[in-house]
Amino acid sequence: MSLDDPRTIHLADYTPFTHVVEQVHLTFRLAPGATRVISKIAFAPNPDSKGGAFFLHGEDLKLIHARIDGESVIPNAAEGGITCDVPEGPFTWEAEVEISPQTNTALEGLYMSNGMYCTQCEAEGFRKITFYPDRPDVMAPFDVRIEGELPVLLSNGNPAARGDGWAEWSDPWPKPAYLFALVAGDLVNHPDRFTTRSGRDVELNIWVREPDLGKCAFGMDALKRSMKWDEEVYGREYDLDIFNIVAVDDFNMGAMENKGLNIFNSSAVLASPETATDANFERIESIIAHEYFHNWTGNRITCRDWFQLCLKEGLTVFRDQQFSGDERSHAVQRINDVLALRARQFREDNGPLAHPVRPESFVEINNFYTATVYEKGAEVIGMLKRLVGDEGYSKALDLYFSRHDGDAATIEDWLKVFEDATGRDLSQFKRWYSQAGTPRIAVQESFDNGTYTLTLSQSTPPTPGQPDKEPLVIPVAVGLLSPNGDEVVPTRVLELTEAEQSFTFDGLSAKPVASILRSFSAPVVLERDQSASERAFLLAHDTDPFNKWEAGRALAKDVLIRMITEGAAPDPALLTALENVARDETLDPAFRALALGLPGQDDLAQTLYQSGRTPDPLAIYDAVQQLRKAIAEQLGTTLSDLYDDMAVHGPYRPDAGDAGQRALRQAALGFLSLLDGGVRAQSQYETADNMTEQLGALACLLDIGKAETALAAFRHQWQEDRLVMDKWFGLQSGLAAPAKAAAAVHRLTEDPGFDWKNPNRFRAVMGGLAMNAAGFHDPSGASYALLTDWLILLDPVNPQTTARMLTAFETWKHYDADRQGLIRENLERLAATPGLSRDSSEMVGRILG
Ligand code: ARG
Ligand code: ZN
C-alpha cells in the first residue's frame, strides 16, 4: 500500500522482454460463459534481451493445452502468469484457454455489455484474454478469427474474410496487446467514407444498438473533421482501409483507441439534439478527435512501458485541445481547459495523490490514468511549444514521427527530437516530467525612470516522496498595458529558470499594468496581490482573452474569500464589473457566460487551504449563495434582457456560436430563477426542444427547490434512455441541498433505475455527491459513510471504477479535525475490507499517507 508495498513496480527496473513477437494469430470461439481463445504466436529471441526466463502474463485463464513447435508442454505457474522452458531459437507457441466474458464485471479483458461482447485491454487487460507478453514494448501484427452466431464480428485492422458465423481480420501494423480489440453483437452501423489526402478510400462506421442509430451523425462528422485536421496540421494520414467506432454502455472510462476499432463509452459518442447537451456535443467532439489522433500518437508510436503514459496521453490531449480550439474558439477552449486543470489536476497535485507527469513507481497502473498524466502532460507540451516556437515544434514533431514510427518510445526520445530539431538544451525542462506539485510564482513589481521591473520567484511545495524541489523552466507570457488601457508592450514570453529572476522593460512613459501569465502559459499558481481596481482594469482592457477572464475570476474569488472569512458583503465593484462584461456586445456570448460563472466551491476550499485557513464547506456554500443573490438583484435588468436576447431561433445546431448563446442565456436563467420563483425556468422546461435547454431549466428548478413536477415529467419522458437518465440521477445528487444530500442520494440508490454495476450510473450518482461540496462534507459524516458503503460494495465487482471514485477523498487533510476524523474512519473501514482490490488498496493507502 505504501511505498514499500511488495507489489510496487519501478521505472528504474525496466528490462526488455526476452523475445520479440513476429506474428500473432488468435481464434475466438465465443460463448458467454466459456469462450475459447486459441493463440498461435511466433516468438524469436530478442537481441536486446538481458536474459531471464520466458514469462507470459495471464490472469483468470483456464489453460486447456499449450504447445511449443507442435509438442505439448506444461508451463509453470508464476506470479501473474506462467514460465516455460523454450528452445534457444525462434519457436511457435500455441495455447488454448477458456474465459468467461459473462461473469467479467470488472470490464477489463473480454466482457459482455447488453448481450454484446467487447474488450478493454489498456492497460493490462489482454492478459485476461490469453497468455501473452502483455507489455507495450512488445509489438506484433495480429490476425484474428472470430467464431460466433452474431451479425457483427469486429477486430483490428482490415477485414480479411468472412462467412456464416465467422469473420477474419488482419492488422498489418505491429501493435502492443493493449491495442487489441474485439466486438461481437447485434449491432447496426452509421456508415460514411473518407478519402485521405493521398487518395486512400477509407470506410467509416459507427456501430450501435438499433435504437441508437439516430445518435451517430454528430460523432461521424467529428471523426471526418478530425481526420482532415490531422492531415492538415500534423501531416498525419490514416493507414487502414476501415475505421470502426463502437458504442458500449458499460465502460470504465471515456473511450479507447484500439487500432482501427475505437471503443467508446456510449456517453462519449452518442448524441442527438433532444438527448444531449451542448457540453455533451463538445465533449464527444473532443473524445472522437482524441481517440483518432492516438492512431499516430499512441499506436504508430507507442510507449516503451506504462511509466511513459504521458508520452501518448499528454501529447494526444494537447492535440485534441488544439483541434477543439481550431474548430470552436481558442479563447473559450483555453479557459475551459484551465478550469478543468485547476479543478482536477491542481487538486490532485496539492494532496496525497500528487505524482510526477511521469511517475516512477506504481502498484496498479490503472490508478495513474490521472489528470496529472493527461492534463498536466498536455500543459508540459504546450510549454515546450511556447519555448521552441511554432516552427520548432513542427520540426520536432516531424522528426518524432519519422524517427520513431513503429517504436515503443520514452520521454527521453521525445525530448531528444526537440533538442535535435531546435538545438535547445532541455535538461532543466525535463524536471517537469519528474517533479510533482504545482509551482507557485510570486510577483514583485517596480517602476523607475521609465523602466518597469518584474521580479518573479518560483517555488514548488513538497509532495509525497519529494520534500525538496528544484527550479523549473517556466515560460511566463507577459504584456503591458498603459494606464489608459492601451497595450504598450505586446505579449512576450519570459523564461523563468532561476528561483528568482528579474525582467525589465524600458522606455515606458508611465507605470504600466502588467498582464502576467497570458493564455495561462504555464500550469502554475500565480501569487499576486493585486488591488481590486487593477483586476477590474484588466477585466475591462486586457487584450489577452484568457487573462481578461482570469482578472474577473480573481476579483470574484477575492470577494468571496472576504465574504467567507470576514463576513464581508458582496463588493459592489465586482457587481459593476460583471455587469459591464455581461452587457459588452463586442464579447463572444460564450466568453461572457464564462465570465459570469463563479469560482467553484471546491476551488474556493483549495484557495483557503493554500492561504493557511481551514475551509468550512457550509460557509463557502452560504457565501456563494449570497453572492449569486446579490448578482441577481443588482444585474436583474441586464440578465432579463440577456435571457430574451440570447434566445436561439430555428432548429438546434450544436455549433460553438449557438452553444455560446445558450450558455449565456443559461447563466442568466440561473440568477433570474433566484428572483422569479422559477417562472422562466418552468416555462423553458415546458417548451424546450433540446436537451441543453430542458436540462438547464431543470437544474434551475432543482436549485430553488421547485423541481418536483419537472423531475417526474423528465423521468416519464426519458426512462427508456440510459444516457438521459444518467443526467436525471446526476443532477439530483449534485444539486441536493447540503444538509439533505446524503438522504437524497440514499433515496436515489433505492430507485429501481439505480443500476450500480453500470459505471455511468454509479458515477452519475456518487460522482454527483462528491462534487456537491457542501453536501459531501456535511458535518454529520453521512455522505462519507454512504459513499464508503457503496465503494465497499462495488470494489469486488469493479475495482477500477471504485479506485477512481476514491479520489473524492483526496483533499481530506484540508478540512477540520472532526471531518478528518470521520473520513479517516471511513477510509480505514474500507482499507480493512477483506480481499480489497489492488486498485483500491493502493489508492486508500496513498490517500491515508
Ligand atoms: N487510452 C485511453 C484514452 O486516453 C484511456 C484508457 C484508460 N485505461 C485505463 N485503464 N484507465 O483514450
Ligand atoms: Zn488517450
- 717-740 pLDDT, tens digit each: 999 999 999 999 999 999 999 999
Sequence-ordered strand ranges (E) for 30-74: 35-45, 54-57, 62-68, 71-73
- Compute φ and ψ for 501, nearest 5 degrees: -155, 145
Instruction: Tell whether ligand 1 has an atom less than 6 A from the beta carbon of residue 804.
Output: no
CB 106 less than 6 A from any atom of ligand 1: no
Atom of ligand 1 nearest to the CA of 298: 1
Pair 20, 72: CB distance under 8 Å: no
Burial label, 199 (beta-carbon count in 10 A; 0-12, 13-18, 19+) = exposed
Q: Which atom of ligand 1 is nearest to the CA of 369?
A: 11
Which residue's alpha carbon is nearest to atom 2 within ligand 1?
256
> What is the atom index within ligand 1 of the atom nearest the CA of 257?
12
Q: Is the CB of 291 under 6 A from ligand 1?
A: yes
pLDDT digits (tens, 9 = 90+) for 531-551: 999 999 999 999 999 999 999
The finding on whether 349 has its CB within 6 A of some atom of ligand 1 is no
Compute the distance between CA of residue 300 and CA of residue 44 in angstroms, rounded to an integer: 22
In the chain the first and final C-alpha atoms are separated, in Å, by: 9
Q: Are 251 and 759 in contact (CB under 8 A)?
A: yes
What per-residue confidence (pLDDT) applies to 4? Answer: 72
The answer for residues whose C-beta is within 8 angstroms of residue 448's C-beta and 6 or more apart is none
Please give the Cα distance from 323 to 225 (Å, whole number): 9
Say what angle helices 656-676 and 679-687 make with each other, to 10 degrees. 140
Q: Which of 128, 252, 256 to mutate to test the pocket of ligand 1 (most atoms within 8 A of CB)?
A: 256
Q: How far is the CA of 229 from the centre of ligand 2 (A)?
A: 17
Q: Which single residue is written with the C-alpha cell 455533451?
A: 280
User: Is the CB–ligand 1 distance for residue 313 below 6 Å?
Assistant: yes
Whether 79 is catalytic: no
Ligand 1 atom having least distance to the Cα of 374? 4
Three cell numbers at 423?
538545438
Q: Which residues pair with 29 in a beta bridge?
A: 36, 147
pLDDT digits (tens, 9 = 90+) for 297-335: 999 999 999 999 999 999 999 999 999 999 999 999 999
Please indicate whether residue 140, judged by its CB atom, sits closer than 6 Å to ligand 1.
no
Listed residues: CB within 5 A of ion ligand 2: 313, 316
Beta-sheet pairing, 81-84 with 54-57: antiparallel
pLDDT for the residue 1: 40
Contact 19 CB / ligand 1 (< 6 Å):
no
- 53: alpha, beta or left? (left if phi > 0; alpha if psi -120 to 50): beta
Compute the distance between CA of residue 290 and CA of residue 223 in angstroms, rounded to an integer.
10
Nearest to 122 by CA among 286, 316, 267: 316
Nearest CA to ligand 1 atom 1: 256
Task: Confirm or reject: Cβ of 123 under 6 Å from ligand 1.
Answer: yes
- What pLDDT is recorded for position 3? 53
DSSP 647: P
Query: Which residue among the candidates 285, 291, 379, 550 is catalytic per the annotation?
Result: 291
Query: How many CB atoms are closer than 10 A to CB 62?
Result: 11
Half-sphere exposure of 237 (CA within 13 A, CB side): 12
Give 756 Cα–ligand 1 centroid separation in angstroms. 21
CA of 707 to the centre of ligand 1 (A): 37
Task: Give the C-alpha separation, 561 to 623, whole Å.
Answer: 9
- The minimum-distance atom of ligand 1 relative to the CA of 291 is 12
Query: From the first residue on, what is the mean pLDDT of each consecutive set of 10 residues in the chain (849 residues)?
Result: 78 98 99 99 97 97 98 98 98 98 98 98 98 98 98 98 98 99 98 98 99 98 99 98 98 99 99 98 98 99 98 99 98 98 98 98 98 99 98 98 98 99 98 98 98 98 98 98 97 98 97 98 97 96 98 98 98 97 98 98 97 97 98 97 98 98 98 98 98 99 98 98 99 98 98 98 98 98 99 98 98 98 98 98 97
